[in-house]
């Protein structure tokens, strides 16, 4: 899978921005200097110990807040007391209180960063913010709230208080945002917006409450109440509205709206933090990439509404599985954290920290698979769905989030190759295989430009008269190093990468051009079948593109037969019927390739107005020895004929297979029993009759066709 890299990658200490440490220590030393000066000023002032009592109370209450009744809102007690100390006793008291508040908050923090420089930085930042904000406030309001000469209007009071809150907030949150951005090389504005924007209202509420306390301590007058009460009411309603909006924005930014799980951005942030903890504690961490099997088929069959319901059910079962494990293994779960996120589409990501062995990750993954394997009841439909999981382990398979995600994704696709509904650990061989696939993809992109692709044709033979009834166009790659490659060796990569779209159009154009050339030269032209991949068939402009090519080549559309895979017609039935009708309106024929390996029924196929069914060669290969395969072939032929479909058997390689198919009434066969594929020049010679007539009836088809092949030395190469 190809994924766009996101910003915000966890960066190791060696990759920290060069300005990080100079800025960190500049703030620390400036803040400590301000604290020292403030202590000196307080010791040489006539202010009593009241400020120290208030500062001590601030430390004790730094983790508490006052909830506003009726709504999910609160005012920080510590902010209120800090602002009160500053307003009552001046800048030095405010600086010391702020520094102690920052120190206490850092010690109490549950995050991983308790190193001394972070504690000092937080204390220094609070002190610096208090000093600058207090200086600005007392410049704007020189008399102070406790002054007996206090006689200001509403505007004169509100502006200094507002500036006090804003300046302290901007200095404090701005400094922290800058240091985090420098450490992780993230955008400073995004750090500030995502983590500190909401605190502006907390500071505003705190300064409003502090002003009311300070004024009350000083002198309560009707004028004072006339100023303070409107301010508090304005803060109340502003905070109420803003907090609700912030919660909505945060939910949209960090959580998936469909499942309620952390979205890609939030999950990755949590993963980066968990990796840092794992690094500090020298622990393993398992990252799982989970994909819902055949989700697109379910989505297309039952509709997007049912698909959304399934994703919600999957998220619910994953979450319930974690809760169940926590209750069953409380001791193990106590030290282990499992976080589930929705990465996008039908993909979920899970990380488990503090695992001891790789087998622990496999055991947890199998528990998830078991939880998801039970049938789902979705909007009246009983749906069976399962999942596949790829797992990467920190630090064995990567030390950063992007590498671990990429390797877990690679392990997921490796697991799918060995059958779905299972889990697989990443290994280096998987990475090498992925690198090889990427190399083939890049070379395949150039192959189209360098004209390295070619079309070969394999005849289809009628059993009753041994005449060629049609051809199938088969793509080949003339690889500069590996020689001639069959579609089997690169077509899957073309489909996964989306290259099948331009390659598919090239095939259609090339085949139409070849058939038109044969017709113009008067050859005995037969219909040519072209394979369409499911991705091509879903193209909105497919019929327009084919109509344009047919028109440009002046081709009789009846000479083109489009082969659809059985999986392609298993999607949304109404859409499939419309698409097939649209193609048939062009005059081309429609057939189903590799029939019998999917889940479609012949009764459903009658709605699609098909011309032919091609029985998958897996049934033909063992039909001489396997009675079940013979029964399946017989049933397909009987039912297909009852619906008026022509029946073609693929992969016929022996006389015995041919005899069985003939007895069952199969119309046509295709396979190496008669021919491998021919190049354009070779099949042109055969159709022209220069290498022997294939339009005449043959008494001994196989012998005669082999005789013709012997006259064309390169006919059997392919």
Residue 7, domain member (yes or no):
no
Beta strands in 208-346 (DSSP E): 284-292, 338-344
Residue 2, domain member (yes or no):
no
The DSSP code for 4 is P
Same domain as 245, residue 118: yes
- In three-state secondary structure terms, 450 is coil
The DSSP string of 629-698 is HHHHHHHHHHHHHHTT-EEEEE---SHHHHHHHHHHT--EEESTTT---B-HHHHHHHHHTTT--SSS--
What is the C-alpha to C-alpha distance for residues 589 and 560, in angstroms, rounded to an integer? 6
Same domain as 659, residue 554: yes
Could you tell me the sign of the dihedral formed by the alpha carbons of 302, 305, 311, 315, in that order?
negative
Q: Write out the two tokens for 119.
A: 């504690």
Residue 259, domain member (yes or no):
no
User: Which residues, other chains included, contact 168 with Cβ-Cβ below 8 Å and sequence gap of 6+?
Assistant: 129, 130, 132, 133, 203
CB atoms within 10 A of CB 235: 21
Same domain as 270, residue 244: no
Residue 686 sits in a domain whose CATH number is 3.20.20.450
Q: Average pLDDT of 109-129?
A: 71
Contact predicate 416/287, CB 8 Å: no
Residues 493-526 have pLDDT tens digits of: 888 888 999 999 999 999 999 999 999 998 888 9
Report the range of poorest mean pLDDT among 253-257, 656-660, 712-716.
712-716
- In three-state secondary structure terms, 566 is coil
Residue 225 scores a pLDDT above 60? no
Same domain as 106, residue 36: yes
Residues 542-557 have pLDDT tens digits of: 999 999 999 999 999 9
Residue 342 backbone zone (phi > 0: left; psi -120 to 50: alpha; other: beta): beta
Report the range of poorest mean pLDDT among 564-578, 603-617, 688-702.
688-702
Q: Average pLDDT of 469-477?
A: 94
Q: Is 572 exposed, middle or buried (0-12, 13-18, 19+ CB in 10 A)?
A: middle
Same domain as 637, residue 587: yes
Residue 142 sits in a domain whose CATH number is 1.10.1760.20
The DSSP string of 348-416 is EEEEEEEESSHHHHHHHHHHHHHHHHS-EEETTEEE---EEEEEEEETTT-SSHHHHHHHHHHHHHHHH
What is the C-alpha to C-alpha distance for residues 503 and 535, in angstroms, rounded to an integer? 12
| Tally of residues, the chain | 718
Q: Write out the two tokens for 610.
A: 């098909």
pTM value is 0.51
What is the C-alpha to C-alpha distance for residues 473 and 568, in angstroms, rounded to an integer? 19
Contact predicate 630/660, CB 8 Å: yes
Report the run of H or E that residue 459 belongs to, with start and end: strand 453-462
Same domain as 691, residue 626: yes
Report the range of poorest mean pLDDT among 394-398, 572-576, 639-643, 644-648.
572-576
Same domain as 698, residue 675: yes
Q: Average pLDDT of 188-213?
A: 55
Same domain as 226, residue 185: yes
What is the C-alpha to C-alpha distance for residues 662 and 668, in angstroms, rounded to an integer? 9
CA distances from 654 to 26, 589, 620, 663, 716 (A): 85, 29, 10, 15, 16
Same domain as 379, residue 277: yes
Residue 13, domain member (yes or no):
no
Same domain as 579, residue 623: yes
What is the C-alpha to C-alpha distance for residues 304 and 287, in angstroms, rounded to an integer? 29
Contact predicate 452/481, CB 8 Å: no
pLDDT > 70: what percent of the chain?
71
| Final residue in a domain of this structure, among 204, 229, 254 | 254
Residues 400-458 have pLDDT tens digits of: 999 999 999 989 988 887 777 889 999 877 767 777 777 888 899 899 889 999 999 99
What is the C-alpha to C-alpha distance for residues 100 and 105, in angstroms, rounded to an integer? 8
What is the C-alpha to C-alpha distance for residues 367 and 381, in angstroms, rounded to an integer? 25
Q: How many structural domains comprise the chain?
A: 3
Q: Average pLDDT of 382-397?
A: 92
- In three-state secondary structure terms, 485 is strand
Helices 116-140, 77-89: axis angle to 10 degrees equals 50
| Final residue in a domain of this structure, among 367, 396, 426 | 426
Could you tell me the sign of the dihedral formed by the alpha carbons of 175, 178, 182, 183, in that order?
positive
CB atoms within 10 A of CB 454: 14
- Residue 57 lies in domain: 19-254
Residue 398 sits in a domain whose CATH number is 3.30.70.270
The DSSP string of 79-145 is HHHHHHHHHHH-HHHHHHHHHHHHHHHHHH--SS---HHHHHHHHHHHHHHHHHHHHHHHHH-TT-T
Residue 271, domain member (yes or no):
yes
What is the C-alpha to C-alpha distance for residues 676 and 537, in angstroms, rounded to an integer? 27
Residue 14, domain member (yes or no):
no
Residue 513, domain member (yes or no):
yes
Q: Write out the two tokens for 653.
A: 């390689």
Q: Average pLDDT of 590-599?
A: 76
Q: Average pLDDT of 150-156?
A: 48
| Final residue in a domain of this structure, among 254, 278, 305 | 254
Residue 431, domain member (yes or no):
no
Of the candidates 419, 416, 414, the one whose C-alpha atom is nearest the C-alpha of residue 436 is: 414
Contact predicate 545/512, CB 8 Å: no
Contact predicate 320/443, CB 8 Å: no
Same domain as 623, residue 500: yes
Same domain as 344, residue 212: no
């Amino acid at each position: 899978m190809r994924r766009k890299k996101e910003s915000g990658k966890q960066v190791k200490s060696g990759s920290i921005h060069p300005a990080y440490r100079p800025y960190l220590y500049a703030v620390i030393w400036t803040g400590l200097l301000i604290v020292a000066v403030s202590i000196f000023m307080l010791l040489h002032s006539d202010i009593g110990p009241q400020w120290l009592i208030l500062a001590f109370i601030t430390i004790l209450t730094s983790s508490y807040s006052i909830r506003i009744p009726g709504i999910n809102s609160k005012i920080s007690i510590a902010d209120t007391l800090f602002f009160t100390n500053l307003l009552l006793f001046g800048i030095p008291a405010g600086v010391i209180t702020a520094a102690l508040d920052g120190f206490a908050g850092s010690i109490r923090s549950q995050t991983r960063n308790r190193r001394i420089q972070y504690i000092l930085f937080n204390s220094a930042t609070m002190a610096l913010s208090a000093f600058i904000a207090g200086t600005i406030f007392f410049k704007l309001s020189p008399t102070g709230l406790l002054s007996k000469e206090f006689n200001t209007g509403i505007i004169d009071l509100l502006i200094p208080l507002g500036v006090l809150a804003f300046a302290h907030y901007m200095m404090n949150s701005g400094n922290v945002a800058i240091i985090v951005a420098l450490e992780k090389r993230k955008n400073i504005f995004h750090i500030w917006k995502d983590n500190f924007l909401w605190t502006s209202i907390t500071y505003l509420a705190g300064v409003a409450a502090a002003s009311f306390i300070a004024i009350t301590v000083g002198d309560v007058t009707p004028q004072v109440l006339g100023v303070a009460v409107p301010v508090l009411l304005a803060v109340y309603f502003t905070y109420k509205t803003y907090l609700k909006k912030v919660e909505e924005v945060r939910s949209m930014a960090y959580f998936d709206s469909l499942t309620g799980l952390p979205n890609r951005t939030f999950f990755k942030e949590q993963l980066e933090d968990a990796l840092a903890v794992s690094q500090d504690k020298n622990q393993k961490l398992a990252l799982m990439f989970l994909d819902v099997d055949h989700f697109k088929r379910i989505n297309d069959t039952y509709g997007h509404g049912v698909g959304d319901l399934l994703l919600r059910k999957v998220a619910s079962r994953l979450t319930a599985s974690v809760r169940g494990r926590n209750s069953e293994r409380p001791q193990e779960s106590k030290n282990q954290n499992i976080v589930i996120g929705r990465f996008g589409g039908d993909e979920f990501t899970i990380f488990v920290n503090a695992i001891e062995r790789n087998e622990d990750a496999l055991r947890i993954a199998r528990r998830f698979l078991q939880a998801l394997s039970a049938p789902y009841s979705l909007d009246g439909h009983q749906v069976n769905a399962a999942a596949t999981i790829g797992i990467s382990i920190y630090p064995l398979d990567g030390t950063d989030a992007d590498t671990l995600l990429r390797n877990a994704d690679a392990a997921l696709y490796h697991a799918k190759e060995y059958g779905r509904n299972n889990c697989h650990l990443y290994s280096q061989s998987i990475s090498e295989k992925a690198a090889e696939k990427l190399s083939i993809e890049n070379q395949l992109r150039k192959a189209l430009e360098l004209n390295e692709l070619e079309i070969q044709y394999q005849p289809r033979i009628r059993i009753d008269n041994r005449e060629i009834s049609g051809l199938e166009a088969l793509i080949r790659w003339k690889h500069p190093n590996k020689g001639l490659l069959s579609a089997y060796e690169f077509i899957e990569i073309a489909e996964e990468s989306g290259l099948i779209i331009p390659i598919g159009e090239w095939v259609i154009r090339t085949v139409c051009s070849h058939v038109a050339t044969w017709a113009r030269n008067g050859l005995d032209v037969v219909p040519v079948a072209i394979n369409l991949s499911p991705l091509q068939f879903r193209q909105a402009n497919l019929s327009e593109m084919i109509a344009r090519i047919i028109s440009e080549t002046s081709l009789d559309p009846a000479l083109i037969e489009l082969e659809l895979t059985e999986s392609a017609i298993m999607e949304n039935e109404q859409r499939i019927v419309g698409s097939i009708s649209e193609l048939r309106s062009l005059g081309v024929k429609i057939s189903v390739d590799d029939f019998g390996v999917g889940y479609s029924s012949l009764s459903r196929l009658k709605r699609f107005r098909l011309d032919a069914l091609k029985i998958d060669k897996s049934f033909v290969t063992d039909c001489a020895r396997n009675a079940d395969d013979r029964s399946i072939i017989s049933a397909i032929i009987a039912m297909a004929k009852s619906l008026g479909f022509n029946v073609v058997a693929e992969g016929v390689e022996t006389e015995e297979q041919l005899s069985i198919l003939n007895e069952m009434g199969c119309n046509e066969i295709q396979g190496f029993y008669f021919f491998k594929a021919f190049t354009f020049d070779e099949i042109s010679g055969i159709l022209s009759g220069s290498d022997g007539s294939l339009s005449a009836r043959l008494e001994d088809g196989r012998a005669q066709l082999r005789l013709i092949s012997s006259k064309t030395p390169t006919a059997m190469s392919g």
